[in-house]
Amino acid sequence: MTTTHGKVRAAGLALLLTAAASAGGAGSAAAADGSTVQLPVLSARLDADATCTAGSGQRATDVPWEQVSLQLSRTWPFAAGTGVTVGVVDTGVSSSAPALKGRVTAVGDAGTDCVGHGTFVAGLIGAAVQDGVRFAGVAQQARILAVRGSDARGAVTADRVADGIRAAVDGGAKVVTVSAALAGDSATLRSAVALAAKKDVLVIAAAVPDTPATATSATDSPPARDYYPAADDGVLSVLDVDVDGKRPTGAYTTSSAAIAAPGDGVVGIGPKKTGHYIGSGASLAAGFVAGAAALVRSVHPELTAAQTATLLRTSAYPADVPRLDPYAAVTSVLTGTAAAPAQRGSDTPVHLPEDKAAGPLRRALWPASAGLAVIIAVVWLGLILPRGRRLGWSPSRPDTAAGPEGTEGEESSVPVGAGVQGTAEN
């Protein structure tokens, strides 16, 4: 595996957004001209007397570090999430958000978003590129199904979240992301997750609550424990990491997370206007994974929800908690007979029939095949042919014998493993 991790880290550090401790703070982002843009920090919940989030007037015009880290510009030529609906169980998703225009369907009143958190998550999943801005969602052609998993102010309960999952499944979502991470499990949550599995819907959830605003050091981190619905069987649980691939200071911890994704100081959209916010937390990391799942399900619709989850994990960058790699997930070569659905946490590779594996990656490997052919030709001309002539050998005429050239014109074969790891952008 070849990597330019140093380049990604350097680019990421240049673009890293530093979140303030409260919703009233601001974070800084690098603009295209090198200046600093102050972005407001988005909260996951509003106080009872707080006004609704109005929208940001500040725009981050440079590429956010998380897009560099996830290699999204390399992934987009292969997949865009076309034909896949992602359910966002959160505070609602604003149907008037410019970057999501025309792609939001709402259940009930979930097309309005007073808090803005659900719209932020939906933007990470599928925001389209806007003029003068290089921020974009992971799956820009995916559709968004807005579902309330909280009250209008962001307060959550197990029943609200369970109802949201069911509504997303009934609404036709093939991927569902849940931002809430509850301290206790419940029969209603398990029932909703079971319904999703029965309907072949992949549920992705924050493995832990978002980092406490009062945390000032690693010692402030609460003890490790499971949170729900992320810890339920059949759910792909997601942890948040920073630009260095580490957990944020003071973050909640768990031992049951399946995959990690960017979630510390990431750029996102608001419910109104064309400006941006910054936010942090596992709920945002889950949005990135949901976007990647939409990409996979758009290019491999034959994969089950469980197989999609397994592919995302087995193609991820190796770490204590594997780190999401959308490029590797989308372009991995899948061969053989379709595997049975994997159990949660399994590292069993996913396989597809040979003809399903051709796709984009085979086209991507043509240059490598051509390079191998050149190497073989050089060896033949430089070593084998002179030795043959010294021994008195002369090549047969093309019209009398095929000889070694009998296979001329066939594409050379380059073995590629199922767990292709992408390299960082230059």
Asked whether the beta carbons of 287 and 124 are under 8 A apart, the reply is: yes
Q: What is the CATH number of the domain that holds 115?
A: 3.40.50.200
Query: What is the rounded distance in angstroms from the CA atom of residue 85 to the CA atom of residue 173?
Result: 5
How far is the CA of 242 from the CAs of 33, 117, 211, in angstroms?
Answer: 24, 19, 12
User: Quick one: CA dihedral 330, 332, 334, 340, positive or negative?
Assistant: negative
| pLDDT at residue 348 tops 80 | no
Would 316 be classed as within a structural domain?
Answer: yes
Of residues 63 and 355, more confidence is placed in: 63
Of residues 212 and 59, more confidence is placed in: 59
The count of other CB atoms within 10 Å of the CB of residue 159 is 12
Confidence of residue 3 (pLDDT cuts 50, 70, 90): very low
User: Average pLDDT, stretch 114-132?
Assistant: 94
Q: What is the pLDDT of residue 35?
A: 53
Query: What is the rounded distance in angstroms from the CA atom of residue 180 to the CA atom of residue 201?
Result: 18
pTM of the model: 0.74
Domain count of the fold of the chain: 1
Minimum mean pLDDT range among 31-35, 176-180, 343-347: 343-347
DSSP annotation of 337 reads: S
Single out the residue of 208, 297, 218 nearest to residue 258, CA to CA. 208
User: Average pLDDT, stretch 354-372?
Assistant: 39
Of residues 318 and 366, more confidence is placed in: 318
Q: What is the pLDDT of residue 220?
A: 67
The pairing of beta strand 202-206 with beta strand 259-262: unpaired
| pLDDT at residue 373 tops 80 | no
Q: What is the pLDDT of residue 37?
A: 73
Q: What is the pLDDT of residue 250?
A: 85
The pairing of beta strand 36-40 with beta strand 26-30: antiparallel
Q: What is the pLDDT of residue 345?
A: 37
Residue 131 lies in domain:
5-327
Amino acid found at 39: L
Q: What is the pLDDT of residue 369?
A: 44
The count of other CB atoms within 10 Å of the CB of residue 214 is 9
Would 422 be classed as within a structural domain?
Answer: no
For 281-306, write each residue's pLDDT tens digit. Answer: 999 999 999 999 999 999 999 999 99
Please give the full DSSP string across 221-281, using - where no structure is assigned. Answer: SPPP---BTTTSTTEEEEEEE-TTS-PPTT----S---EEEE-SSEEEE-SSSS-EEEE-S
| pLDDT at residue 396 tops 50 | no
What mean pLDDT, rounded, does the chain reach? 78
Of residues 240 and 343, more confidence is placed in: 240
Would 345 be classed as within a structural domain?
Answer: no
The count of other CB atoms within 10 Å of the CB of residue 321 is 21
Would 421 be classed as within a structural domain?
Answer: no
| pLDDT at residue 14 tops 60 | no
Would 260 be classed as within a structural domain?
Answer: yes
Would 57 be classed as within a structural domain?
Answer: yes
How far is the CA of 263 from the CAs of 67, 245, 333, 399, in angstroms?
Answer: 12, 10, 28, 65
Confidence of residue 132 (pLDDT cuts 50, 70, 90): confident
Q: What is the pLDDT of residue 104?
A: 98
Asked whether the beta carbons of 303 and 350 are under 8 A apart, the reply is: yes
For 271-283, write each residue's pLDDT tens digit. Answer: 999 999 999 999 9
Would 336 be classed as within a structural domain?
Answer: no
The count of other CB atoms within 10 Å of the CB of residue 322 is 18
Q: What is the pLDDT of residue 82?
A: 97
User: Average pLDDT, stretch 223-244?
Assistant: 95
Would 340 be classed as within a structural domain?
Answer: no
